[in-house]
Structure 1
Amino acid sequence: MRQVCEDFGAEMAEFNGETDHVHLLVRYPPKVALSNLVNSLKGVSARRLRQEFPTHIRKYLWGDHFWSPSYFAASCGGAPLSIIKEYIDQQKRPD
């Protein structure tokens, strides 16, 4: 995920999640279309997970897909990053 962000000129500041979703705190330049970044993060991570854990991953698929086609993004401009990082850190880690 960090490498994908770097390829877009972005920085992944935090990563955490729960059993059915992940939380990412990403700083990205305004020229980057968020939908392109998210699609790349989902595509690359799904490919890597399928390669590394082909049998285990089957029970987590949405039909034939690892990720749901949707995503939620929110801007945190103005909020102290320490508060956002604390929120992400307090989430459960994916299994």
Structure 2
Amino acid sequence: MFTEEILTRCEAIMIEVCDNFGAELVEFNGEPDHVHLLVRYPPKVALSSLVGSLKGVSARLLRKQYPAHISKDLWGDHFWSPSYFAASCGGAPLSIIKEYIENQKRPG
């Protein structure tokens, strides 16, 4: 469901959500059916709350802005899958993780 335009808008939304949590969206990219984020967030923030807000706000705003395009590709009635994958990268060089995210096959 993600096009270049929708991914660009999704990134802007997620930057704003992260800012509201005192977090930083370090890197963002996506493929036609999912996104990758590298987020630096303070220890006081519950990851589940941050992810819930990222998914909830982006779903609401993207569905409102691109209703015709998005409605045909929903998970049933949901924009995002109910699950997510999160991993800590405290020991890995951020440059390697950023490179991985940058090299996703973003739709053209």
Matched residues in 2 for 1:73 and 1:94: separation? 23
Q: CA RMSD in A?
A: 1.1
Q: Of residues 10, 22, 30 in structure 2, which corresponds to 1:17?
A: 30
The alignment partner of 1:45 has SS state of: helix
Runs of 4+ in 1 over 2 A off after TM superposition: none
| CA apart distance, 1:7 | 0.4
Equivalent pairs counted in the alignment come to: 95
Matched residues in 1 for 2:107 and 2:50: separation? 21
Matched residues in 1 for 2:58 and 2:85: separation? 17
Please give the TM-score of this superposition, normalised by the length of structure 2.
0.84
More helix by share: 2
Unaligned runs of 5+ in 2: 1-13
Q: Percent identity?
A: 80
CA deviation vs aligned residue, 1:35-55 (integer Å, no higher than 9, x gap): 000000001101111111111
